[in-house]
């Protein structure tokens, strides 16, 4: 079920009203640092969601196996 990233249909465009000669290297560093922090937060959130999902799936699997075993043992399912 692994999928790639969700692609946006909107293309990135440079705003022509921005004077790129006025942007300093420090401004660019700040923007990229903020983007890196946001990416790290997104990755951590994704890992947390994946971990919780795996825990829930494991618990549900154990529940269903116990339910099937109970039904089989009580004679409600299986041999007669």
pLDDT, position 5: 62
User: pTM of the predicted model, to two decimals?
Assistant: 0.59
Which band of pLDDT confidence, cut at 50, 70 and 90, is reported for residue 4?
A: low
- Per-residue DSSP letters for the chain? ----PPPPSSPP---TTS-TTS--HHHHHHHHHHHHHHHHHHHHHHHHHHHHHHHHHHHHHHHHHHHHHHHHHTTSSS--
State how far the Cα of 26 lies from the Cα of 5, in Å rounded to an integer.
30
The pLDDT tens digits for 14-57 are 777 877 778 888 988 999 999 999 999 999 999 999 999 999 99
Q: What are the extents of the domains in the chain?
A: 23-80
How far, in Å, CA of 32 to CA of 64, rounded? 47
Is the model's pLDDT at 8 over the cut of 70?
A: no
């Amino acid at each position: 079920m692994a999928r790639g990233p969700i692609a946006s249909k909107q293309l990135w465009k440079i705003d022509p009203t921005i004077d790129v000669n006025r942007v300093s290297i420090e401004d660019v560093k700040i923007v990229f640092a903020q983007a890196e922090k946001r990416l790290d937060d997104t990755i951590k959130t994704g890992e947390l969601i994946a971990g919780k999902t795996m825990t829930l799936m494991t618990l549900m699997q154990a529940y269903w196996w116990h339910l099937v075993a109970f039904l089989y043992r009580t004679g409600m399912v299986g041999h007669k």
